[in-house]
Amino acid sequence: MDLEAKKKVLRSFTYGLYILTARDGEAYAAGTVNWVTQASFTPPLIALGVKRDSHLHALLERTGKLALMTLAADQKAIAQDFFRPTVREGNTLNGHPFEPSPTLGLPLLTELPYWLEAEVRHLYPGGDHSVVVAEVVGAGVRYEAKPLVMWDTGWFYGG
């Protein structure tokens, strides 16, 4: 295989940027992710690639629950704050306010426009990332916004 071509092809995929969260009691994890897609209408499934050695992976595997929020186009700085380990101080994660989601009690960052909560239905140990398939059980819209798009950030996570 032409490895350079493989990298370029995989990086040509269009991605949004999201904050993924999980929680087990007082343990919280939140991270910026881009490997996300809807995968079924009925039931409403999403699929995500989640780094196996991350705290996020450990918590969502243990609890079977996750929350996902879409970043708005002007929230690149928030995305950057969630590349690093999660620090919870009161009602903030990495300095950003959160509230518990209504159905599963997972942290929702209140600055982000769109959110959902989901229950893990399948976890395939693909490689360095697991393929997580989860069913959406709750969703909300705080305000309408254009989403942050990977291509516009100049960042890459893929190849």
Ligand X SMILES: Cc1cc2nc3c(=O)[nH]c(=O)nc-3n(C[C@H](O)[C@H](O)[C@H](O)COP(=O)(O)O)c2cc1C
Given 85, 97, 102, 105, the residue binding ligand X (CB under 6 A):
85
Q: Is the CB of 29 or the CB of 72 nearer to ligand X?
A: 29
What is the widest separation between alpha-carbon atoms in the chain?
50
Smallest gap from residue 146 Cβ to ligand X (A): 18
Given 23, 46, 50, 104, the residue binding ligand X (CB under 6 A):
50
Paired residues of 93 in beta bridges = 88, 96
Residue 82 interacting with ligand X (CB under 6 A): yes
Are 117 and 104 contacting, i.e. CB atoms less than 8 angstroms apart? yes
Helices (H), the chain: 3-11, 55-63, 76-81, 150-153
Q: Count interface residues toward ligand X (CB under 6 A).
A: 19
DSSP E strand boundaries for 71-113: 88-89, 92-93, 96-100, 107-109
Residue 134 interacting with ligand X (CB under 6 A): no
Residue 55 interacting with ligand X (CB under 6 A): yes
The window from 38-46, 83-91, 103-111, 116-124 that contacts ligand X (CB under 6 A) reads 83-91
Residue 86 interacting with ligand X (CB under 6 A): yes
Smallest gap from residue 157 Cβ to ligand X (A): 3
Residue 94 interacting with ligand X (CB under 6 A): no
Residue 98 interacting with ligand X (CB under 6 A): no
- Cα separation, 134 vs 90, whole angstroms: 28
Residue 75 interacting with ligand X (CB under 6 A): no
- Cα separation, 23 vs 30, whole angstroms: 9
23: Cβ–Cβ under 8 A, 6 or more apart, which residues?
Answer: 29, 59, 63, 65, 105, 106, 107
Tokens of 94: 């990495």
Residues that bind ligand X (CB under 6 A): 29, 31-35, 49-51, 54-56, 82-83, 85-86, 129, 155, 157
